[in-house]
Chains A and B, each alone.
Chain A
Amino acid sequence: MSNKVIYAIYNDDDILMDAVKKTRAAHHHIEEVFTPFPVHGLDKAMGLAPTRLAICSFIYGLCGLSFATWMMNYIMIQDWPQDIGGKPSFSYIDNMPSFVPIMFEETVFFAAHLMVITFYMRSRMWPFKEAENPDVRTTDDHFLMEVAINNNEEELVSFFEGTGAVEVKVIEKH
């Protein structure tokens, strides 16, 4: 079976939004939409599930907080409880205010960096990664919607020509 897709190209984000809504209403499956900049509300129009990145970040933050607490407790209280300038190193809570800046920074550090790495991994981004632009103009001023063809090529082409596309291409994907 051939993997044919349609590339419907637009030059305005409002027209794109309308086209996405029409395509969804006509029950054509949108494979992907390429835009040069974030289009507000596009994810909602496409029906994409909300991101769970914030939840990840919260959990990473808790990990950072635990790590900082464990580290400071082990070093300052358990391993070598020295008297440094009269600070009470009898128990963690006794000396906790002086650990708070570290606990805070570790929480932020873990939450931020691990979330970014999660983002890179989930969106498959890394150095030397081959770019996936279907059309170079989509990074500049054009919007592209990719829709799979299932033996309905003619119907789809005429459908997308009716949605205000400046260009409709049928491409064989490998």
Chain B
Amino acid sequence: MYTFSSKLKTFSFVLMAVGLLGIGYGFLTAPKNIQEVEALLAAESHGGHGEGNHEAASVAHGSETTHEAVSADHAKADAGKHEAKAESEHKEHLEHVFHQLSNKPWAALYVACIFFMLISLGTLAFYAIQQVAQAGWSPVLFRVMQGITAYLPVGSVIFFIILVLCGLHFNHLFIWLDPEVVKHDELIQTKSGFLNFPFWIVRAAIFLAGWNAYRYFSRKNCLAQDESNDNSFYKKNFNYSAGFLVFFIVTESIMSWDWIMSIDPHWFSTLFGWYVFASFFVSGITMICMVTVYLKSRGYLENVNSSHIHDLAKFMFGISIFWTYLWFSQFMLIWYADIPEEITYFITRIQEFRVPFFGAVVMNFLFPVLILINTDFKRITWILVMAGIVILLGHYVDFFNMIMPGTVGNSWFIGVPEIASVLFFLGLFIFVVFSALSKVPLVAKRNPFIEESKHFHY
């Protein structure tokens, strides 16, 4: 049995407290009205880079500005009075920046929330695959995986609340949720059969409920199998896992359209679902590896040897490359054809998110490839921890890149609200996961593959 060390518990509480303070600070310092934004921009232009942003903002913030650009064109045709035009443009710009800045703390919260929830979902998918594949090496890690997926219900509830708040117009993360925007936007109107709040929120509820149901029953059966005399619970879990994987791949795809792609409702990409999947799947595997290494270092996982760690590291390595493959495929296909309605997505990211956009490739591809290619390195704890931290940070940046350009545009910054949100959810994650780990024994007793797994040697 694992006992939740009081130090780690305190640490998680500190993270949550600091995070909450930072999140509160983010919401308090976000501008309340246009006047504040005007004062802010005036102060900034003294600093020297306020005006430069002006132009880029209206060009690149594709999703939100299209209708503004359209109405700006009308204004041009009708009035022709330069002064009136400049005046209205200035007003539009202020409104635009105001939306971005008031979105900032919400977007920061949203990115961190979906990131940690998807980490536990990625772990759940990996767990289900291991069950269905009847893997001989991983059963000693099942309880660790179940511990990590314990975050899923907590994360889902918080995430669902944020989605509902979006629908109640507390923020402007999803512009298609704003009837004013939709009224002037023909492209969104044609999509509103799919992108409308009731359908969207019901889908979200079904997806979250389905994943959590699988997690609940799978864990329940796994514990029941410990006390059982035959393998009926194991077989049940096998069937549930197979069913879950089918459900998962469908819902995962739709989830990525709903929660991430619809932030840029004028843009679409067919392999987006896979891309998002690869991103959180590798994060989930990395998290399994990190927690395993931690528990092992505390002396709790006597049956886990360096071969198990090696296998996890190989998965981290392989799926990192898989993520890069999808990242590049998506980018290159759009870059190569250069169709205006698709390329704006990457123009925004390359022009305004250059460092995070390409930095994510360095962190999620170059670094793990060069470090984890070596067989010996895959067994050295500190190298794995270092690679794992870089991969997890890299995939946070990846989600940041997916969500920020459509919500805050060029007003992005990794400052207090962003870091605080990550710290809060990290603290919550640590608390929930390690509390769950301390509730049941760390080795499944009667799994048919547990003996093989204990003696796994690579």
Contacts and interface: CB of A to CB of B under 8 A. Distances in A.
Nearest to A86: B338
B326 to A, nearest CB: 14
Interface stretch (B165-173, B266-274, B327-335): B327-335
12 contacts: A54-B375, A58-B373, A86-B338, A97-B328, A97-B331, A97-B332, A97-B335, A97-B336, A98-B332, A98-B336, A100-B328, A100-B332
Interface of B: 328, 331-332, 335-336, 338, 373, 375
A15 to B, nearest CB: 21
Interface residues of chain A: helix, strand, loop or mixed (majority): helix
A113 B155 CA distance: 49
Contacts of A54: 375
Contacts of B328: 97, 100
Nearest to B335: A97
A97 B327 CA distance: 12
A168 B338 CA distance: 74
A86 B335 CA distance: 12
Nearest to A97: B332
B11 to A, nearest CB: 40
Contacts of A58: 373
Nearest to B334: A97
7 tightest A-B CB contacts, nearest first: A97-B332, A97-B335, A98-B336, A100-B328, A100-B332, A97-B336, A97-B331
Contacts of B336: 97-98
A58 B373 CA distance: 9
A86 B339 CA distance: 12
Contacts of A86: 338
Nearest to B325: A104
Nearest to A55: B374
A100 B328 CA distance: 9
A90 to B, nearest CB: 15
Given A58-B373, A97-B328, 10 more contacts: A54-B375, A86-B338, A97-B331, A97-B332, A97-B335, A97-B336, A98-B332, A98-B336, A100-B328, A100-B332
A161 B442 CA distance: 49
Nearest to B328: A100
A58 B331 CA distance: 27
B391 to A, nearest CB: 21
A8 to B, nearest CB: 28
Contacts of B338: 86
Contacts of B331: 97
Interface in A56-102: 58, 86, 97-98, 100
Contacts of B335: 97
Contacts of B332: 97-98, 100
Contacts of B375: 54
A86 B338 CA distance: 10
A91 B375 CA distance: 37
Among A54, A58, A86, A97, max chain B CB count under 10 A is at A97
A86 B343 CA distance: 15
Contacts of A98: 332, 336
B358 to A, nearest CB: 11
A97 B331 CA distance: 9
B163 to A, nearest CB: 35
B37 to A, nearest CB: 37
B374 to A, nearest CB: 9
